[in-house]
Every structure is written in C-alpha cells, then in structure tokens.
Amino acid sequence: MTMNELLKKVGGYSRSIMVFAIGLTLGFIGFVLLTQMSMIEQAHSSNQASYYLSHEIADLRTQWSQAHPDNVRQRMQKADQMLLRDFDHLALWFQQLQTQASTMGLQVTYRVRPTRIAVPGFTEVEKVPVDLKVYPETPSMLQGAYQKYLRFLRQLSEDQVRMDLQEVEVQGGTGAAHMNVGLHVWIKAAA
C-alpha cells in the first residue's frame, strides 16, 4: 500500500469522522436549543402568570380599600347597639316609651308574651312578641287621638331599638279610644 492510497483511505475516514463530528455537534446544539427554548417558554409563562397575579392582587387591594372594613365594624357595632341586652333592658325601654307617650298626652301599657321566636340566620338573637296598648291620658283627650297615635307610631318606628311592627289596630270608633300595637322586639338570645 502506498502512501497515497493510505492517505486516500484515511482521508475518506477523516471526512466521514468530520461529517459525523459536525452532525453530532449540530445535533447537540439543536438539542440544547430545544431544551433551552422549552425552559424559556416556561419562564415566559411563569412571568406572565406572575404579572397577571400581581394585577389581580392590586385589584383586590383596591376593592378591599374601597370596602371600608372600618365601616363594617362600625355598622356591626351599631347593629349590636340596636339589640336589647336582656329583659331588664327591655323594661327600661318600655319606661322610655311610656315617657315619650306621656309627652304626647298618651299612656302605654305593655304585655310581653312568653314565647320567643328564633331569627333565621342569627344564632345569638331572638324576637320577643310584645303587645302595646296606647290610649289618651284622659277621656277628654280623645279628640285628635288619631294624630297622636300616628305620631307615637312614627317615633316607635324611628326608635333605635330593632323591632318589627306586626299589627296596628285602632278601636273605639270616631273617638279612637285606644290603639293596640303588636310587635316583635329583637333581643340577645343569652337574655
């Protein structure tokens, strides 16, 4: 074998080896690029999700600040103040009603019914049925009693104590001798 033949033989192998090496290098570069592209896509997707999440958090913070959580607490305290604490508080409230009625020339008697009514959705609150009887202080005050009854009802409905008017009945014909008022007063269940 001559040197030229040997070089041709080795040259053929070296070309094959070189093509193989270049192919292997290109394949490796392609594999790395594909792997990196996948990682780049995942990073981009993660960045996009973080971006949207940060905007969502900012929106929630805005909504929360606009909701005025302090106002919610104040409203809950105000609602709690509208509830009667116990039956002693109920008796005190009746005395206040009697005083208000007296300034209008009316008298009020009351009867608390023995039943208590659960309030749906509230575990610590009950309604106590109460019957009020309202009448003029003197028979000579029957004239204009309807107007006084209406004024009393208006004050009753604007009272700070939470109650539900159930029925109002005026009796006594044109003289309006007396008015019966049925209502449910809201009271704390522990009472």
**Closest listed residue to residue 187, CA positions, set 162, 157, 167, 170:** 162
Contact 184, 129 (CB under 8 A): yes
Separation CA 58–CA 167 (nearest Å) = 51
Q: Is the pLDDT of residue 5 over 70?
A: no
Percent over 70 (pLDDT), the chain: 79
Q: Which of 114, 190, 79, 97 is nearest to 152 (CA)?
A: 97
User: Could you tell me what percent of the chain has a pLDDT over 90?
Assistant: 15
Tell the residue number behind the tokens 């305290």, with chain if given: 77
Higher local confidence (pLDDT), 163 or 54: 163
In the chain, where the domains are located: 1-67, 83-188
Check residue 8 and give its pLDDT: 63
Q: Which of residues 173 and 148 earns the better pLDDT score? A: 148
Sign of CA dihedral 101, 106, 107, 111: negative
Interhelix angle 145-157/87-103, nearest 10 degrees:
140
| pTM score | 0.57
DSSP character at residue 174 = G
| 69-82 vs 3-67: helix crossing angle, rounded to 10 | 30
Mean pLDDT of 41-69: 73
Topology of domain 83-188, CATH: Alpha-Beta Plaits (3.30.70)
Each residue of 62-76: pLDDT tens digit? 777 776 666 666 766
Residue with tokens 């993660």: 46
